[in-house]
Amino acid sequence: MAMPGTIKNQQGLTLIEVLITAIILAALIGGSFSLFMVYSREIREGVAMTRLQMQHENIMSVIATLTRHGTAVVKTSETTWPVPTTWTADSANNIYFKNRNGSITGGFQVAGGYLQEFRPATGTWVDYKAGNLNVSVASDFKLFFLSPTRNSIKMTLVLQTTNMGTSYSLSSMGGEFKCRN
């Protein structure tokens, strides 16, 4: 015979067991969400920095090629040809690459915070794109450093991007590129 106040067949969970389970489950979900948020931020930063590094490599490659195939690298305001021996080392945010005949083969400038390239065929400046993205650069300093003979160039690039409302930048000092011709 059963004692009064006891239940022979207990089915289901007590309120205490349900509350303890809910508290443990809430702690696990909260911890998982925190890890997810940290991981998402790391992914965003990785994507932004990878984009900047790819843009940097693209720009350096193009400028190195234009310099190697050219005879001189001059500021856009320097129209004298051939290059006078009286020029001094200088810096600029806009340059042209010239061949042996003094013809412009390309150019770069910073305008409105973006890197632009000169298209000799059309005589126009257009936003430079690495992949399908405009290249954003810090424009508060000189980008190109020219030798007195204008046969070499050094660059300082500070590329910038914004991803999901956060700004990122990549600063690098490129090597010296010399004209072969």
In order of 60, 94, 101, 109, 160, the CA distances from 54 in angstroms are 10, 22, 33, 19, 12
* Angstrom distance (rounded) from CA 43 to CA 49: 10
173 strand-pairing partners: 156
Q: Which residue has the tokens 């000092």?
A: 173
Is the pLDDT at 2 greater than 60? The verdict is: no
What's the pLDDT score for residue 26? 93
End-to-end CA distance of the chain: 110
Owner of token pair 């059963």: 2
What is the per-residue pLDDT across 56-74, written as a single tens digit (0 to 9) for each? Answer: 888 888 888 988 888 888 8
Compute the average pLDDT of residues 43-68. Answer: 87
- For 79-103, what is the mean pLDDT? 83
Which residues on adjacent β-strands are paired with residue 146? 90, 153
